[in-house]
Structure 1
Amino acid sequence: MTEASTETTAEYTYDEHAFSCNKTDIQEFGKIFLPIFYIAVFALGLAGNLMVVLAIVKEGRKKSITDIYLLNLAISDLLFVVSLPFWASNTVRGWTLGTIPCTAVSSLYYIGFFGGMFFITVISIDRYSAIVRATYSLKSRTVKHGLLVTCGVWATAVLVSVPHFVFSRLVESDCTSAFPRELENIWPVFCNVELNAVGFFIPVCIICYCYCGIVKTLLLCKNQKKARAIRLVLVVVVVFLLFWSPYNVLIFLETLKRFELFTSCNQIKSLDYAMHLTETIAFSHCCLNPLIYAFAGEKFRRYLHHICLRYCPFLCFCGPCSRYRVSHSASYAESIVISNITVNTSDQDGSVFV
């Protein structure tokens, strides 16, 4: 949460400078726009990611490494979206829950944010290992290895989140960051740089490298469905960049604003409006994660059909419900390594097949 003075959103705070710049219009816009957006993302993100969690947990077979990563990605997104209703309330009527809940909700927000970004990166590395380094992956892609990586990711997410929520306090009915005087100029810049570098630039470099390697491997693969798999790879990368790049550019510009590179009131107001817009786009990505990383799998879709038709029989209008019966011969999440291209981890030659 960027620090400052008058009004706080989940990730952005208005920073008043020494000169007078009336931001009443921006604040009123934020009080209407942000709560609607936060609640919408909360509802969609909660529903989609809960489905992923339930589908993986309900599966009877032993979990695969892909199951583990998808489950933790969904949990990260749930931590993130659970904090949004609190920020919506804070935007409209201020913080009414006290200092400890303020720090707790801030920690959930940042741990979920960094955790989600890191698990997306880990899933990219896992897919690269399974497809490009298929022989090596037979030894490395084990459940034990997945659990160790998961623990490391959560520990890292907590560690990099601490600078963002450690100073969260209740200040004049607002949950915001109150820094010691000696850190008030350095710490906000450090937090923004960490968001840009650790929360975006490093992950996007790893993701692009992994998926470029995957595309090269798929182009050499004599498979009729490779075009579909490549399209999904491109969708994953392009959607990630489109949703997160503008927001990180605005965070960078917010850092420059602290060095008084933007002095015009109109410029600062434009940055504020742009921050609202890019924040909206970036936060919506957690609602797409279930669609991109889980729902793309045929077996996962069939499992959801099975659940819906079991508990909502009135939906059974496309034929007998038995047609959606799911075979448990393989892990649901494992079937979506790359859009129906499955890595058979028990196969001796480590081949990738459709």
Structure 2
Amino acid sequence: MDNYDAYDFLEIFFSNASNDTGYSGTVVDDEVILCKKSDVVQFGAAFLPTFYYANFLMSLVGNALVLCIIYKYEKLSTVTNIFLLNLVISDLIFASSLPFWAVYHKSEWIFGRGLCKLVGSCYSIGFNSSILFLTLMTFDRYLAVVHAITAAKRRRVTYAFMSSIVVWVFSILASIKDIVFHDVMDGGEGLLCEMTGYHQKFLTKWELFGYYQQFFLFFLIPLVIVLHCYTRITIRIMFTRMREKCRAVKLIFVIVFTFFICWTPYNIVILLKAIKTSFGDQNDCSNTLDYALYVTRNFAYLYCCISPVFYTFLGKKFQNHFLKLLSKHIPCLKINVALLSTTSKTTSIRSPNTDS
């Protein structure tokens, strides 16, 4: 789970240890400083499993609903729907790791070395691709609204598929360290799934690389791009009164805004941990950042449940599709579906170029 799991708080710091592989059986000559984090670990064991299971179920249901709507009522002939499908896949990849982490936090790692590496990389790949697809969707809306004439020639299905492939490749490359360094080790009181197998200083450098990579490449830069795009979109809408297209822009804006509200505290804690690891006292066993990481990280995980809810209930088109699904089982909703269909047709006539 991106190298920051409950058992990370049982971390042992080695000072100038030679030939240290990171395994618990290694003999070192220098002083070993052990930070006892039993309170933090107990907090995680009591709170996290229930949260992870609930988050997994909500994410599974919400994203499955979006996939069902895309399959039944939409076509992958628009750029927006292609990006939306990829974003849902990103959320599902992330959510698929939660049941494993729930068991891990409750007891120990019981799933073997292969799943340790696979599950350890799912979080990273899911997060990286989610933020990139959100940024890509925002940039696509920027092109469609601010540069409508020029973008009409370029926003083709091929462009969407190629962009999606680039995002997935980049996300996987950024997660290679989790695949390589995650392994099973004996933590004394049970098996752990952590970054291990190499000299402690070497692992610390890669841990720092992961901190800064996540904060700058997958948070700060996307945030700047999103703010720039929505600033330009807002200015464009104010001068052109594009009310129909504004609905789609508002939907994506709410999704992106919610994402950054969920992830900003987490990334701030990540940055503080990076600063502490780089410049702080390694003998400092304070629990403050550990508790902060627990709370902010789990708050960030909620986004995987929130995003499909936004797709379904904030977008007019998805509301219509959702009511169509319900009307098959609740006959009294058929009248509302007919009314929404009429409204949708009226809107499509007024805004023929909207593909969202």
Q: Which residue of 2 aligns with 1:281?
A: 299
Distance of aligned partners of 1:197 and 1:342 in 2 relative to their CA distance in 1, 3 Å threshold = farther
Q: What amino acid is the match of 1:157?
A: S
Does residue 1:259 correspond to 2:278, yes or no? Answer: yes
RMSD (Å) for aligned C-alpha atoms: 3.1
Distance of aligned partners of 1:83 and 1:303 in 2 relative to their CA distance in 1, 3 Å threshold = same
Does residue 1:189 correspond to 2:208, yes or no? Answer: yes
Does residue 1:80 correspond to 2:99, yes or no? Answer: no
Q: How big is the shift at 1:112? A: 1.1
Distance of aligned partners of 1:341 and 1:235 in 2 relative to their CA distance in 1, 3 Å threshold = farther
Q: Distance in 1 between matches of 2:215 and 2:236?
A: 30
1:63 alignment partner, SS class = coil
Q: Distance in 2 between matches of 1:51 and 1:326?
A: 20
Q: Distance in 2 between matches of 1:192 and 1:342?
A: 47
Q: Which residue of 1 aligns with 2:323?
A: 305
1:96 alignment partner, SS class = coil
> Do the aligned residues in 1 keep the contact of 2:10 with 2:35 (CA within 8 Å)?
no
Q: Distance in 2 between matches of 1:58 and 1:134?
A: 29
1:171 alignment partner, SS class = strand
Q: Which residue of 2 aligns with 1:118?
A: 132
Q: What amino acid is the match of 2:324?
A: H
Q: How big is the shift at 1:40? A: 1.7
> Do the aligned residues in 2 keep the contact of 1:30 with 1:91 (CA within 8 Å)?
yes
Q: What amino acid is the match of 2:296?
A: T
Q: Which residue of 2 aligns with 1:89?
A: 103
1:153 alignment partner, SS class = helix
Q: Which residue of 1 aligns with 2:54?
A: 40
Task: Give matches, 1:1-354, under 5 Å.
Answer: 1=1, 3=3, 7-8=7-8, 15-17=11-13, 19-59=33-73, 61=75, 63-172=77-186, 173-181=191-199, 183-223=202-242, 235-259=254-278, 261=280, 268-293=286-311, 295-310=313-328, 313=329, 315-318=330-333, 320=335, 323=338, 344-345=352-353
Q: Which one is further off, 268-277 or 224-233?
A: 224-233
The structure where helix makes up a greater share of residues is: 2
Q: Which residue of 2 aligns with 1:349?
A: none
- Under a length normalisation based on structure 2, what TM-score does the superposition of the two structures give? 0.83
Q: Which residue of 1 aligns with 2:21?
A: none
Q: Distance in 1 between matches of 2:351 and 2:193?
A: 46
* Higher radius of gyration, 1 or 2: 2
Distance of aligned partners of 1:273 and 1:342 in 2 relative to their CA distance in 1, 3 Å threshold = farther
Q: How big is the shift at 1:45? A: 1.2
Q: How big is the shift at 1:55? A: 1.2
2:96 alignment partner, SS class = helix
Gaps of 5+ in 1: 346-351
Q: How big is the shift at 1:295? A: 3.7
Distance of aligned partners of 1:65 and 1:5 in 2 relative to their CA distance in 1, 3 Å threshold = closer
Q: How big is the shift at 1:218? A: 1.1
Deviation string for 1:203-247 (max 9, x for gaps)?
A: 111111111111111111235678877765664454233211110
Distance of aligned partners of 1:245 and 1:138 in 2 relative to their CA distance in 1, 3 Å threshold = same
Q: What amino acid is the match of 2:106?
A: V
Q: What amino acid is the match of 2:302?
A: S
Q: How big is the shift at 1:196? A: 0.8
Q: How big is the shift at 1:250? A: 0.7
Q: How big is the shift at 1:47? A: 1.1
Q: What amino acid is the match of 1:303?
A: H
Q: Which one is further off, 240-249 or 26-35?
A: 240-249
Q: Which residue of 1 aligns with 2:20?
A: none
Q: Which one is further off, 111-120 or 254-263?
A: 254-263
Q: What amino acid is the match of 1:292?
A: F
Equivalent pairs counted in the alignment come to 331
Deviation string for 1:174-227 (max 9, x for gaps)?
A: 111114216223111111111111121111111111111111111112356788
1:7 alignment partner, SS class = helix
Q: What amino acid is the match of 1:249?
A: I
Q: How big is the shift at 1:50? A: 1.3
Q: Distance in 2 between matches of 1:67 and 1:191?
A: 31
2:169 alignment partner, SS class = helix
- Under a length normalisation based on structure 1, what TM-score does the superposition of the two structures give? 0.83
Distance of aligned partners of 1:140 and 1:254 in 2 relative to their CA distance in 1, 3 Å threshold = same
Q: What amino acid is the match of 2:194?
A: T
Q: Distance in 2 between matches of 1:341 and 1:101?
A: 51
Q: Which residue of 1 aligns with 2:29?
A: none
